[in-house]
Chain A
Amino acid sequence: MLRQPQSWAPGLFFPLLLAAVYSSQFSKAVDIAGFPFQNVSFLDFVLPACVIQGVLFGSTNSASDLAADIENSFMDRLLVSPVSRASILLARLASAFMYGVVQAGILITIFLIFGANIAGGLPSMISIVLIAALLAVSIGSFGIAIALRTGSQEVVQSTFPLIFVAIFVSSAFFPVQLMEGWYGSIAQKNPLTWIIDPTRRMAIVGFSWKDLGQSLGIISAIASLGIGISIRQLRRRLARAQ
């Protein structure tokens, strides 16, 4: 992170730009009939989504670094050294987690400085950071699987638009109740909506174990799948290396 600020700076810049713009452009949207929260600013509404967006934008960094290690043969050197194979994967996942914690912490601090309010206080803040960091791990694990499979940084980075699409076709920037037609239906079925909605309730309404459980449960399911695929790809690569 210290050597390559260009890898994480966009993950801070774009969510902050969107939050600044949307909170001014759509400030009156909270008055639309059917808006799910009353007496709330649009900045409060988009806070959890922007934190999750920022962390997701950076979630491919660990995978991209792994792909770079494969491209420049560092991975081969790692494999002939007496290190545990599991630690190769765990180190990348831990890196994604730490990256998520730092970035979510920075984003929440900046939001609070600019007047956002987190109704649940410290428990909600910690929950949002935890949710964002674990989501970075779960989405990052799919990137790691792709990196292990292809060994190409370019391919890993090309998954970025998919993350972008997944965020926009969810309740991240507008409530699904106010979306129309097939777009609203897809957004309702998007797992990111099921994560963002309870996280948002914890920020706007207050901390709740039920909401935290719902978010973490869905993230765990996604992470199990992603890590499972990563382990399979790691075994495949190890078998090829022998």
Chain B
Amino acid sequence: MSYTNAADASSIAVVYAGILRGFSRMRRLPSLMIPSILMPVFFVIAFSGSFASIVELDGYETDKAVNWMTAWAVMQGAAFSGMGAGGLAATDLENGFFDRLRVAPIRPMAIIGGLVGYCVCRALIPITAVLIVAFGLLHAEMPGGILGFVMVYLSGIGMAAIMGLFVLGIVFTFRTLKSLAIGQIFMFSAMFLSVGQAPIQAIDGWLHNVAAVNPVTNVIRMCRQGFLGEVTWSVTQPGLIALAGMMIGTSIWARIRYKKVDI
């Protein structure tokens, strides 16, 4: 095995170990998972209940609010899970464990990969919980069939990875657990300034323009399409491009900020 191949193999092992470590911590501190499962489940119940009549307006393409709001709750749950990577890294930075990780002979991207891998795997739990409540309790429909569910999970894990990378960049910059609040503000802003709760046709004024260019809009549309009808390439493609673009951008951001940890 050449040196490069050996390093690659060890990087995969580091990523895998990082994911396992995250889940061990989650098993030890189950209270960490409660908000990231309960909040999205509450969101799907609250938004479907509160805004039950909103689907009477043009543009919603469904007669049940739950079909519209489930994708929104899934995205929220995924984004909350993404914050988990930042929480784990910030704890390590505060207690000094991260310094030991940095002096170990492993690639920085393997450390970042482990943290992001953990939050991506973790995102599957709230996504599934939201879907169980939406279909079991609130009688959501999925005319898009299996492909619709694939889109939900694909968008969800993509959003978790993006949010994880973004929050890692913030945590590497400020090196405190409190800096997660900054990440939350960005997360909520990006999610709310999109078509999360209302279609673009129903949005007026400045928010219409912001939501139209917000890449999160395309990801939510991709996630939601199966609830509203058939899954189509014309909706999936912009979503995949938005996910890829944000993934590249946030990866570069996290990697650059990682270099600054010591400064």
Contacts and interface: CB of A to CB of B under 8 A. Distances in A.
Interface of A: 6, 10, 13-14, 17-18, 20-21, 24-29, 31-34, 161, 164-165, 168-169, 173-174, 178-181, 183-184, 187
Contacts of A180: 49, 52-53
19 contacts: A17-B188, A21-B193, A24-B203, A24-B204, A25-B197, A25-B202, A29-B53, A32-B53, A161-B35, A161-B39, A164-B42, A165-B42, A168-B42, A169-B46, A174-B50, A174-B54, A179-B53, A180-B53, A183-B52
B49 A179 contact: yes
B56 A32 contact: yes
- The 6 A-B residue pairs with the shortest CB-CB distance, nearest first, are A183-B49, A24-B207, A25-B198, A178-B53, A168-B46, A180-B52
B27 interface: no
B205 interface: yes
Contacts of A32: 53-54, 56-57
Given A24-B204, A24-B207, A168 B181 contact: no
Contacts of B255: none
Given A6-B178, A29-B53, A173-B51, 10 more contacts: A14-B188, A17-B192, A21-B207, A24-B208, A28-B204, A174-B51, A174-B54, A178-B52, A179-B53, A180-B53
A184 B52 CA distance: 9
B254 to A, nearest CB: 24
Nearest to A31: B57
A178 to B, nearest CB: 4
Interface string B156-186: 0000000000000000000000100100010
Contacts of B208: 24
B77 to A, nearest CB: 14
A26 B198 contact: yes
Contacts of A31: 57
Contacts, number: 86
A179 to B, nearest CB: 6
Nearest to B208: A24
A17 B53 contact: no
Contacts of A21: 192-193, 197, 207
Interface string B35-48: 10011001001101
B189 interface: yes
B interface, over-half SS: helix
Contacts of B202: 25-28
A13 B46 CA distance: 21
Interface string B201-228: 0111111100000000000000000000
B38 to A, nearest CB: 7
Given A13-B185, A168-B46, A24 B51 contact: no
A180 B56 CA distance: 13
Contacts of A161: 35, 38-39, 42
A161 B31 CA distance: 13
A169 B49 contact: yes
A176 to B, nearest CB: 9
Contact of B49 (A17, A18, A33, A184): A184
Contacts of B204: 24, 27-28
B23 to A, nearest CB: 23
B203 A25 contact: yes
Contacts of A184: 49, 52
Contacts of B198: 25-26
A28 to B, nearest CB: 5
B49 A25 contact: no
Contacts of B38: 161
